[in-house]
Structure 1
């Protein structure tokens, strides 16, 4: 291969480009799916502070019954 062949090769991204979930700007590869380190850090901070939570069943018997179906 020559240098000309290597520089003309087209590389396609593995993922479809998506807007940043924090601010809506286009995401960048280094911080995917975020647009910047700032937006990535804001999201991580929300997870660590407990702002995001996975819902759980109030009554564990109901959750056990649903697993049997």
Structure 2
């Protein structure tokens, strides 16, 4: 089963590499408008998620949520 999954993933990797290579050897090919829009939305979503996670990290650190539990007897 592991070999089949590895072969499938390697095939997918080779296909993506061939597709990327085709894009690199044609530098004069224009990027369609929807490609720019999708790329911009992806970058904006990545920034929002990164800022949100860093905010949660600082919030939990400042409010003591990262401290080990203390049990009183």
* TM-score w.r.t. length of structure 2: 0.29
Q: Which structure has more helix as a fraction of its residues? A: 2
The higher radius of gyration belongs to: 2
Higher relative contact order (CA 8 A, sep 6+): 1
* TM-score w.r.t. length of structure 1: 0.30
